[in-house]
Amino acid sequence: MGGPNLEVFKFAVYVFFPVVMLVHYGNPDWYAKNVLPVCEDAYMFYVLRLRPSTPVAQYKERIFPPEHRLNTNLPTDSTTLKEELAKIRARNLERKAQREAEAAAAAAAAQQK
Residue ranges of domains in the chain: 72-113
Mean pLDDT (the chain) is 84
Reference 78, options 89, 66, 90, 86; nearest CA is 86
Q: Pick the residue with more confidence: 60 or 8?
A: 8
HSE value, Cβ hemisphere, 13 Å, CA-based, for 28: 1
Q: What is the distance between the alpha carbons of residues 93 and 22, in angstroms, rounded to a whole number?
A: 40
Please report which residue ranges of the chain form alpha helices under DSSP H.
4-25, 28-34, 36-50, 56-63, 78-112
Give the pLDDT score at 67: 78
Residue 41 to residues 25, 55, 56, Cα–Cα distance (Å): 20, 15, 11
**Residue-wise over 35-51: b if at least 16 C-beta within 10 A, else e?**
eeeeeeeeeeeebeeee
The predicted model gives 32-46 an average pLDDT of 75
**Residue % of the chain over a pLDDT of 90:** 45
